[in-house]
Amino acid sequence: MKTYFLYLATRRPFARVLPRMLRFLRGVAAGDRRFLSLISMMLPHRGRAFLRHYLAGSGRPLRVSLPMLWAGDLGLAGYTSGRLLAELPYAHAGVVDVPQWRLADSGWRTAIGSIRMHWKRVEDGVELHFRERYEWRPGQNRITRPIHEAAAGMARCGAKAFDIIGEPARMSMAALSHAAARPVLPSDHLYM
């Protein structure tokens, strides 16, 4: 099975191959839980951990260290910093919407998706935090739709959405300027 996917991936662009792969896996897996188990094997560590937490059904929020996220995802840091530096002269607080495709690290991208980063000005820079809901959107048209449909279907079996809390962190103006100077875009194109 792995050889078939490698063959397809080398013959066609990944965005055209992925829907076929997902339909094939969903047909072979015989059930949403098995399908999601197969998918979780392909996810980076963080994406796999967040999916397992969802499937466990506790609904307890997960906390994310914002400095760790900032340092681990240069795409997020560069995009958010650029937007903040553009808004700081005109506002004392606000929100930066970070689309999922702006996250450069596939682990963070598959784990948290898009983010609404709240910020407020402090003495030396800004304070950042976010609170997002880990939930699946089966009705949206995207290449990973079979995954969203299967994961949303697992709610009938006890899976529960949960909050992802980006703990407040302060970023200095120097750190913002440094991150904005080196924006990075994702190297792969797996958007959950």
DSSP annotation string for 138-166: TTS--TTHHHHHHHHHGGGGT---EEEEE
Backbone dihedral angles phi then psi of residue 38, each to the nearest 5 degrees: -65, -45
Residue 21 lies in a domain: no
Q: How do residues 37-84 score in pLDDT, each as one tens digit?
A: 777 777 788 888 998 999 899 999 999 999 999 988 889 999 999 999
Stated pTM of the model? 0.79
> Is the pLDDT confidence value at 154 over 90?
no
Tokens of 11: 């013959």
Residue 11 lies in a domain: no
Counted domains in the chain: 1
Residue 129 lies in a domain: yes
Burial of residue 156 (number of CB atoms within 10 Å: 0-12, 13-18, 19+): exposed
Domain span at 108:
60-135+157-180
Confidence of residue 155 (pLDDT cuts 50, 70, 90): confident
CA pair distance 112, 192, nearest whole angstrom: 9
Residue 187 lies in a domain: no
pLDDT value, residue 185: 61
CA pair distance 97, 80, nearest whole angstrom: 8
Residue 190 lies in a domain: no
Residue 45 lies in a domain: no
Residue 128 lies in a domain: yes
Residue 6 lies in a domain: no
SS (H, E, C) 9-26: HHHCCHHHHHHHHHHHHH
pLDDT value, residue 5: 47
Residues 78-107 have a mean pLDDT of: 92
pLDDT value, residue 191: 47
CA pair distance 148, 126, nearest whole angstrom: 35
Q: How do residues 130-142 score in pLDDT, each as one tens digit?
A: 999 999 888 888 7
Confidence of residue 29 (pLDDT cuts 50, 70, 90): low
Give Cα 45 distance to the centre of its chain: 12
